Amino acid sequence: MITVHHLNNSRSQRVLWLLEELGLPYELKRYQRDPTTMLAPPELRAVHPLGKSPVISDGELTLAESGAIIEYLVERHGNGRLKPAADSPDWLRYTYWMHFAEGSAMPPLLMKLVFDRIERKSPLLIRPIAAAIAGRAKAMIVTPNLKRHLDYMESELAERPWFAGAEFSAADIQMSFPLEASASRGGLDASRPRLSDLLARIHARPAYQRALEQGGPFKLG
Protein backbone atom coordinates (compact mmCIF):
# COMPACT_ATOMS: atom_id res chain seq x y z
CA MET A 1 0.00 0.00 0.00
CA ILE A 2 1.29 3.45 -0.93
CA THR A 3 1.28 5.95 1.93
CA VAL A 4 1.26 9.68 1.20
CA HIS A 5 2.58 11.91 3.97
CA HIS A 6 0.43 14.90 3.13
CA LEU A 7 1.12 18.45 4.30
CA ASN A 8 -1.69 20.93 3.85
CA ASN A 9 -1.26 23.55 1.09
CA SER A 10 1.81 21.89 -0.34
CA ARG A 11 3.21 20.05 -3.32
CA SER A 12 1.85 16.79 -1.95
CA GLN A 13 -1.57 17.76 -3.32
CA ARG A 14 -0.41 16.90 -6.83
CA VAL A 15 0.77 13.48 -5.64
CA LEU A 16 -2.76 12.78 -4.41
CA TRP A 17 -4.06 13.98 -7.78
CA LEU A 18 -1.73 11.63 -9.66
CA LEU A 19 -2.82 8.68 -7.55
CA GLU A 20 -6.45 9.53 -8.24
CA GLU A 21 -5.75 9.78 -11.98
CA LEU A 22 -4.10 6.36 -11.89
CA GLY A 23 -6.83 4.88 -9.71
CA LEU A 24 -4.30 3.54 -7.21
CA PRO A 25 -5.24 2.79 -3.60
CA TYR A 26 -3.29 4.74 -0.98
CA GLU A 27 -3.24 5.64 2.68
CA LEU A 28 -3.20 9.29 3.69
CA LYS A 29 -1.28 10.59 6.71
CA ARG A 30 -1.97 14.25 7.40
CA TYR A 31 0.38 16.91 8.74
CA GLN A 32 -0.48 20.56 9.41
CA ARG A 33 1.71 23.60 8.90
CA ASP A 34 2.54 25.78 11.88
CA PRO A 35 -0.04 28.61 11.61
CA THR A 36 2.55 31.25 12.51
CA THR A 37 5.64 30.17 10.59
CA MET A 38 3.80 28.14 7.90
CA LEU A 39 6.57 25.53 8.22
CA ALA A 40 6.04 21.78 8.26
CA PRO A 41 5.77 20.14 11.70
CA PRO A 42 8.79 18.33 13.17
CA GLU A 43 6.94 15.00 12.93
CA LEU A 44 7.77 14.86 9.23
CA ARG A 45 11.46 14.53 10.09
CA ALA A 46 10.68 11.08 11.44
CA VAL A 47 9.59 10.14 7.91
CA HIS A 48 12.39 11.83 5.95
CA PRO A 49 15.45 13.73 7.25
CA LEU A 50 14.51 16.95 5.44
CA GLY A 51 11.14 17.06 7.17
CA LYS A 52 9.28 18.25 4.08
CA SER A 53 6.37 17.09 1.97
CA PRO A 54 5.62 15.33 -0.29
CA VAL A 55 6.99 12.04 0.91
CA ILE A 56 5.59 8.64 0.02
CA SER A 57 6.19 5.19 1.40
CA ASP A 58 5.73 2.15 -0.82
CA GLY A 59 6.68 -1.04 0.97
CA GLU A 60 10.26 -0.61 2.15
CA LEU A 61 10.80 2.48 -0.02
CA THR A 62 10.55 6.03 1.30
CA LEU A 63 10.80 8.66 -1.41
CA ALA A 64 10.79 12.48 -1.34
CA GLU A 65 10.79 15.18 -4.06
CA SER A 66 7.72 15.77 -6.21
CA GLY A 67 9.34 15.01 -9.54
CA ALA A 68 10.96 11.81 -8.32
CA ILE A 69 7.70 10.66 -6.74
CA ILE A 70 5.66 11.38 -9.86
CA GLU A 71 8.16 9.64 -12.13
CA TYR A 72 8.36 6.65 -9.78
CA LEU A 73 4.58 6.24 -9.57
CA VAL A 74 4.10 6.56 -13.34
CA GLU A 75 6.93 4.15 -14.14
CA ARG A 76 6.21 1.59 -11.41
CA HIS A 77 2.43 1.69 -11.24
CA GLY A 78 1.20 3.56 -14.32
CA ASN A 79 1.13 0.65 -16.79
CA GLY A 80 2.01 3.05 -19.61
CA ARG A 81 -0.52 5.69 -18.61
CA LEU A 82 0.07 9.45 -18.29
CA LYS A 83 3.33 9.50 -20.24
CA PRO A 84 4.18 9.55 -23.94
CA ALA A 85 5.85 6.56 -25.53
CA ALA A 86 9.62 6.79 -25.30
CA ASP A 87 9.94 6.78 -29.11
CA SER A 88 7.32 9.50 -29.64
CA PRO A 89 8.10 13.17 -30.40
CA ASP A 90 6.29 14.13 -27.19
CA TRP A 91 8.73 12.25 -24.93
CA LEU A 92 11.39 14.96 -24.80
CA ARG A 93 8.82 17.67 -24.13
CA TYR A 94 7.38 15.51 -21.35
CA THR A 95 10.80 15.14 -19.74
CA TYR A 96 11.56 18.83 -20.20
CA TRP A 97 8.41 20.06 -18.46
CA MET A 98 8.80 17.53 -15.66
CA HIS A 99 12.10 19.23 -14.80
CA PHE A 100 11.13 22.79 -15.75
CA ALA A 101 8.43 22.93 -13.06
CA GLU A 102 10.80 22.95 -10.10
CA GLY A 103 14.09 23.81 -11.83
CA SER A 104 12.95 27.00 -13.60
CA ALA A 105 9.34 27.94 -12.85
CA MET A 106 9.30 27.72 -9.06
CA PRO A 107 12.47 29.65 -8.01
CA PRO A 108 11.20 33.13 -8.99
CA LEU A 109 7.78 32.32 -7.51
CA LEU A 110 9.43 31.33 -4.24
CA MET A 111 11.57 34.47 -4.29
CA LYS A 112 8.45 36.57 -4.81
CA LEU A 113 6.80 34.89 -1.83
CA VAL A 114 9.83 35.59 0.38
CA PHE A 115 10.21 39.23 -0.64
CA ASP A 116 6.45 39.84 -0.35
CA ARG A 117 6.60 38.58 3.24
CA ILE A 118 9.63 40.76 3.98
CA GLU A 119 7.66 43.78 2.78
CA ARG A 120 4.61 42.94 4.87
CA LYS A 121 5.99 41.33 8.01
CA SER A 122 9.35 42.91 8.84
CA PRO A 123 9.54 44.53 12.31
CA LEU A 124 7.98 47.99 12.25
CA LEU A 125 11.21 49.85 12.98
CA ILE A 126 12.98 48.48 9.94
CA ARG A 127 9.99 47.82 7.68
CA PRO A 128 10.50 50.86 5.39
CA ILE A 129 14.12 49.90 4.72
CA ALA A 130 13.35 46.19 4.37
CA ALA A 131 10.43 46.94 2.06
CA ALA A 132 12.60 49.19 -0.11
CA ILE A 133 15.27 46.49 -0.46
CA ALA A 134 12.68 43.80 -1.16
CA GLY A 135 10.91 45.97 -3.71
CA ARG A 136 14.17 46.71 -5.49
CA ALA A 137 15.09 43.02 -5.62
CA LYS A 138 11.69 42.15 -7.05
CA ALA A 139 11.90 44.89 -9.67
CA MET A 140 15.42 43.98 -10.78
CA ILE A 141 15.39 40.18 -10.57
CA VAL A 142 12.16 38.49 -9.58
CA THR A 143 9.51 40.20 -11.71
CA PRO A 144 11.48 40.11 -15.00
CA ASN A 145 12.30 36.41 -14.58
CA LEU A 146 8.76 35.54 -13.57
CA LYS A 147 7.34 37.39 -16.58
CA ARG A 148 9.80 35.70 -18.93
CA HIS A 149 8.90 32.24 -17.67
CA LEU A 150 5.15 32.81 -17.76
CA ASP A 151 5.30 34.32 -21.25
CA TYR A 152 7.34 31.35 -22.42
CA MET A 153 4.87 28.87 -20.92
CA GLU A 154 1.99 30.76 -22.54
CA SER A 155 3.69 30.67 -25.96
CA GLU A 156 4.34 26.93 -25.71
CA LEU A 157 0.64 26.24 -25.23
CA ALA A 158 -0.07 27.93 -28.56
CA GLU A 159 1.33 24.79 -30.22
CA ARG A 160 -0.49 22.10 -28.22
CA PRO A 161 -3.29 21.79 -25.61
CA TRP A 162 -1.12 20.19 -22.91
CA PHE A 163 2.50 20.76 -22.03
CA ALA A 164 3.84 17.55 -23.55
CA GLY A 165 1.52 17.40 -26.53
CA ALA A 166 -2.01 16.51 -27.54
CA GLU A 167 -2.65 14.29 -24.51
CA PHE A 168 -2.83 15.05 -20.80
CA SER A 169 0.20 13.62 -18.97
CA ALA A 170 1.99 13.57 -15.65
CA ALA A 171 3.97 16.60 -16.87
CA ASP A 172 0.76 18.62 -16.54
CA ILE A 173 0.39 17.37 -12.98
CA GLN A 174 3.96 18.41 -12.21
CA MET A 175 3.43 21.81 -13.85
CA SER A 176 0.18 22.41 -11.98
CA PHE A 177 1.93 23.66 -8.85
CA PRO A 178 3.71 26.59 -10.55
CA LEU A 179 0.43 27.43 -12.25
CA GLU A 180 -1.44 27.38 -8.94
CA ALA A 181 1.30 29.50 -7.34
CA SER A 182 1.26 31.96 -10.24
CA ALA A 183 -2.51 32.30 -10.07
CA SER A 184 -2.40 32.95 -6.33
CA ARG A 185 0.18 35.74 -6.86
CA GLY A 186 -1.54 37.53 -9.71
CA GLY A 187 0.48 36.09 -12.58
CA LEU A 188 -2.37 34.55 -14.58
CA ASP A 189 -4.29 37.50 -15.97
CA ALA A 190 -5.96 38.33 -19.29
CA SER A 191 -2.56 38.49 -20.98
CA ARG A 192 -2.11 34.74 -20.47
CA PRO A 193 -5.40 33.15 -21.56
CA ARG A 194 -3.88 29.76 -22.45
CA LEU A 195 -2.36 29.24 -19.00
CA SER A 196 -5.62 30.34 -17.38
CA ASP A 197 -7.57 27.94 -19.59
CA LEU A 198 -5.19 25.09 -18.78
CA LEU A 199 -5.59 25.68 -15.06
CA ALA A 200 -9.38 25.74 -15.45
CA ARG A 201 -9.26 22.42 -17.32
CA ILE A 202 -7.05 20.98 -14.58
CA HIS A 203 -9.50 22.08 -11.89
CA ALA A 204 -12.38 20.49 -13.80
CA ARG A 205 -10.83 17.02 -13.93
CA PRO A 206 -12.73 14.55 -11.73
CA ALA A 207 -9.49 13.10 -10.32
CA TYR A 208 -8.37 16.59 -9.30
CA GLN A 209 -11.66 17.10 -7.48
CA ARG A 210 -11.33 13.75 -5.73
CA ALA A 211 -7.80 14.67 -4.62
CA LEU A 212 -9.17 17.87 -3.06
CA GLU A 213 -11.76 15.85 -1.20
CA GLN A 214 -9.02 13.62 0.18
CA GLY A 215 -6.39 16.26 0.90
CA GLY A 216 -8.60 19.09 2.07
CA PRO A 217 -8.74 22.75 1.00
CA PHE A 218 -5.80 23.80 -1.16
CA LYS A 219 -4.70 27.42 -1.06
CA LEU A 220 -1.30 28.94 -1.75
CA GLY A 221 -0.48 32.28 -0.13
- Residue-wise pLDDT for 17-45, tens only, equals 999 999 999 999 999 888 887 788 889 88
**Exposed (0-12), middle (13-18) or buried (19+): which is 196, by Cβ within 10 Å?**
middle
Give SS3 for 26: strand
The candidate with the shortest Cα–Cα distance to 105, out of 11, 15, 3, 200, is: 11
Across the range 180-205, mean pLDDT stands at 92
Mean per-residue pLDDT of the chain: 92
Q: What is the spatial distance between Cα 46 and Cα 44, in angstroms, rounded to a whole number?
A: 5
CB of 121 within 8 A of CB of 128?
no
Across the range 107-118, mean pLDDT stands at 90
CB of 177 within 8 A of CB of 109?
no
- Residue-wise pLDDT for 64-91, tens only, equals 999 999 999 999 999 999 999 999 989 9
DSSP state of 78: S
Q: What is the spatial distance between Cα 52 and Cα 58, in angstroms, rounded to a whole number?
A: 17
- Say yes or no to pLDDT of 135 above 80: yes
- Say yes or no to pLDDT of 48 above 70: yes
- Say yes or no to pLDDT of 203 above 90: yes
List the single range of 27-36, 166-175, 189-198 with lowest mean pLDDT.
27-36
Supply the pLDDT for residue 221.
61
CA dihedral angle for residue 80, residue 161, residue 96, residue 179, rounded to 10 degrees: -110
- Say yes or no to pLDDT of 220 above 80: no
Supply the pLDDT for residue 126.
87
**Residue 48 CB neighbour total at 10 angstroms:** 18
Supply the pLDDT for residue 41.
86
Q: What is the spatial distance between Cα 208 and Cα 204, in angstroms, rounded to a whole number?
A: 7
Supply the pLDDT for residue 40.
87
Sketch out the chain's domains with CATH numbers: 2-83+210-215 (3.40.30.10), 90-205 (1.20.1050.10)
